[in-house]
Chain A
Amino acid sequence: MEHLRTRRLDWTVTLVLALGALVMVLPLAWMILTSLKTFPEILRQPPALLPADAQWGNYRTVWEGFAYYRFFLNSAFVALMVIAGTVLTCCPAAYAFAFYDVRHRELIFGLLLSSLMLPAQVTVIPLFKAFAALGWVNTYLPLVLPAWFGGNIFGIFLLRQFFRTLPRSLIEAARIDGASEWKILWTLVVPMSLPAVLTVVLFTFLWSWNDLFNPLVYLHSESAYTLPVGLLHFIARAEQLTGGSAGQVPWHLVMALATVMVLPVVLLFVAAQKRFVEGVAATGVKG
């Protein structure tokens, strides 16, 4: 009896999950299917669920025809520079806050952490003022520079938590060996903390790749746009660009752009699902 009841429960749970999963996947499926259709196909009623003939050329059209590769490269460049700065400055900072006994260390760390509560809206106006005065508006410096000054406070927090689980005796032994602190950090501590470092890299990537607010504030010329701004800009200008009639946005091309933008995130997620999930879970455990 008990056994039968649990089996029926299993089926109910699976059914509910499957229905929920369908709702989650549907928008993405519709995005990809639309991106492979022709213009007449997306206007048809009743809607054609599948493209009659997959139009892979749509991707070439947006990539080359509308120079979308430019936005892609801009986004990739910004993300790489942000990741490089984050790793190079957050690892040493986390090491310092984990292992050195310096007066007021916890106070300083607490101050850094408190800035997580600060909304970007508070700092953006003075920062814009300063970057404008330096002539850096329309460059990538406002997007990249904060990352080179340990801008990812959450990353420092996560790395420090992980570093602290490493045995101090190991570091002391390396010091006795004559290894410099810099060398201990990069050849001993960081390699032993790769899961945590990778988690920080992935979340830094997401934060930079998905960001709409900062590129919108600082990037004003089309050639400098990153993907999120580029996508919205494309929709706004789509009628002109494609010579379509009023109100007819070429959604098949828009969906191709959206797919190109989403794809790297999906691929990274598939490759490192565990790191993402652990990173998210880690934020909650400390709550």
Chain B
Amino acid sequence: MATSVSEWRQSYAAVNHSLTLVATPGSTTYDPMNDRRAQAFWFWLFAGPAVAGFLLFSAGPMLHSLWLAFCNYDVVAPPQFIGLRNFAYLLFHDPAFWPSVQVTLVFTAVQVPLAVASALGVALLLNQPVKARGLWRAIFFLPSILPQAASVAVFVYIFQADGGLLNRLLALAGVTGPAWTTSPAWALPVIVLISLWGFGYPMVVFLGGLQNVPRELYEAAHIDGADAWGRFRHVTLPLISPVLFFNVVMGVIGALKVFDLAYAFGAAQGLIPGGPARATLFYGLNLYQQAFTYFHMGLASAMAWLLFAVIVAITWLNFRLSRRWVHYGD
């Protein structure tokens, strides 16, 4: 944040100057905020809304959701305790549960490595002394902040079986392209591709990490005769391992929670999201449909808690594993 600090220094200098004019010498020891009660008063006045919001919109609903996971609840009638039956149904009888787990896991296993690798690759290129670096960075980053409903609509149009750009170009070459968006084999790969379009976010995180690697280390490695791969393997990689770790964890958690992408993919074709043949029924989408299409709110709460447990477990496991390979400096 180099420039913001310098901007801040300027305003700081200005304010500091005006304050020294006003503050009279001799009165410097008086500080009304030394009073602990006054501090507590202002603390709760300022932080109170956020703490109340945490209780009302996060902690409270979280506990309530845990209770609903053991209930039969359809919005109309009050929740009715049924023990573990939601979980038993999900694991052993629900025809949609395991397919949605599979779709999500396949997506995660393919998308996260591809996204992290391309993000790191482009970040390494942008870390070279290239011309117009800001422009390149902007072009690669922009798609990641666009509304997913819009970008999915654009991609669905390009991949349309009949009117889509891709199949029309293929037709010019004499090839009949498949119905990408409506074939069970191709729909998920297309979704992976759409999400890869947003790899700019982890790329910028990588760039931040790369810029913190001291130049002298590269020069030293160069003098020691390390080639480009050696410099990457022994200088860059250890030093950006915290950022790599962050991107992998965030990528996995984001992939497990996918909703907008999957919903928009179906809706942008005028179809019920999740198709064809559950090929794009992501876990988050399945959960949404259980809750808000079929009003199986108890069942959906059980699904939400299974997801939450997996996210907590992955985060914990990653932090354990990270001690072995993440290099935190000092």
Residues of A within 8 A of B (CB): 9-10, 13-14, 16-17, 20-21, 24-25, 27-28, 30-31, 34, 42-43, 45-47, 89-90, 92-93, 95-97, 100-102, 105, 108, 111-112, 115, 117-130, 132, 146, 148-151, 153, 156, 165-167, 170, 172-177, 181, 185, 188, 191-196, 206, 209-213, 216-217, 227-229, 231-232, 235-236, 238-239, 247, 249, 251, 254-255, 258, 261-262, 265-266, 269-270, 273-274, 276-278, 280-285, 287
Q: Mark B19-32, 1 if CB is under 8 A from A, else 0.
A: 10011000110111
> Which of A92, A149, A193 is close to B53, meaning CB atoms less than 8 Å apart?
A149
> Which of B11, B148, B301 is close to A125, meaning CB atoms less than 8 Å apart?
B301
Q: Is the CB of A149 within 8 A of B56?
A: yes
Smallest CB–CB gap between B6 and chain A, Å?
Answer: 10
**CB-defined A-B contacts under 8 Å, sample of 8:** A17-B136, A24-B143, A46-B168, A112-B51, A228-B260, A231-B149, A254-B157, A287-B247
Q: Which residues of A contact B250 (CB under 8 A)?
A: 287
> Which of B22, B154, B209, B287 is close to A30, meaning CB atoms less than 8 Å apart?
B154
Q: Mark B282-303, 1 if CB is under 8 A from A, else 0.
A: 0010011001100001001101
* A126-B61 contact given A232-B268, A280-B201, CB 8 Å threshold: yes
Interface-facing stretch out of B84-92, B96-104, B108-116, B125-133:
B125-133
| CA gap between A165 and B1 in the complex, in Å | 12
Residues of B within 8 A of A (CB): 1, 3-5, 7-8, 11-12, 15-16, 19, 22-23, 27-28, 30-33, 36, 39-40, 42-43, 45-47, 49-54, 56-62, 64-65, 68, 75, 122, 125-126, 128-131, 134, 136-143, 145-151, 153-155, 157-158, 162-163, 165, 168-169, 171-172, 197, 200-201, 204-209, 242-243, 245-247, 249-250, 257, 259-260, 263-264, 267-270, 284, 287-288, 291-292, 297, 300-301, 303-305, 307-308, 311-312, 315
* A21-B149 contact given A149-B49, A170-B16, A213-B259, CB 8 Å threshold: no
| CA gap between A216 and B40 in the complex, in Å | 40
Q: Is the CB of A17 within 8 A of B61?
A: no
Q: Is the CB of B263 within 8 A of A216?
A: yes
* A28-B154 contact given A102-B40, A125-B300, A170-B12, CB 8 Å threshold: yes
Q: Is the CB of B149 within 8 A of A93?
A: no
Most chain A beta-carbon contacts within 10 A, residue among B139, B162, B168, B264: B139
Q: Is the CB of A195 within 8 A of B1?
A: yes
Q: Is the CB of A126 within 8 A of B65?
A: yes
- Besides A150-B54, A235-B268, A269-B142, 18 more A-B contacts (Cβ < 8 Å) are A20-B122, A24-B197, A42-B163, A47-B165, A89-B53, A101-B36, A119-B257, A121-B300, A122-B65, A125-B304, A126-B68, A129-B297, A130-B61, A149-B50, A153-B50, A254-B157, A284-B204, A287-B243
Q: Which residues of A contact B51 (CB under 8 A)?
A: 108, 112, 150
Main secondary structure of the interface of B (DSSP, over half): helix
> Which of A21, A151, A261, A280 is close to B57, meaning CB atoms less than 8 Å apart?
A151
* A280-B205 contact given A112-B54, A124-B291, CB 8 Å threshold: yes
Chain A: CB-nearest residue to B79:
A129
Q: Is the CB of A21 within 8 A of B139?
A: yes
Smallest CB–CB gap between B155 and chain A, Å?
Answer: 6
| CA gap between A165 and B4 in the complex, in Å | 12
Q: Is the CB of A269 within 8 A of B138?
A: yes
| CA gap between A4 and B200 in the complex, in Å | 31
> Which of B28, B60, B303 is close to A176, meaning CB atoms less than 8 Å apart?
B28
Smallest CB–CB gap between A103 and chain B, Å?
Answer: 8
> Which of A24, A124, A174, A258 is close to B153, meaning CB atoms less than 8 Å apart?
A258
> Which of B125, B163, B168, B284 is close to A17, meaning CB atoms less than 8 Å apart?
B125
| CA gap between A281 and B215 in the complex, in Å | 19
> Which of A148, A188, A258 is close to B150, meaning CB atoms less than 8 Å apart?
A258
Q: Is the CB of B287 within 8 A of A121?
A: yes
Smallest CB–CB gap between B128 and chain A, Å?
Answer: 5
Q: Is the CB of B125 within 8 A of A122?
A: no
| CA gap between A278 and B242 in the complex, in Å | 18
> Which of B3, B45, B209, B300 is close to A274, meaning CB atoms less than 8 Å apart?
B3
Q: Is the CB of B12 within 8 A of A262?
A: no
| CA gap between A170 and B300 in the complex, in Å | 52
Q: Is the CB of A121 within 8 A of B304?
A: yes
Q: Which residues of A contact B163 (CB under 8 A)?
A: 42-43, 251
| CA gap between A231 and B165 in the complex, in Å | 21
| CA gap between A41 and B311 in the complex, in Å | 48
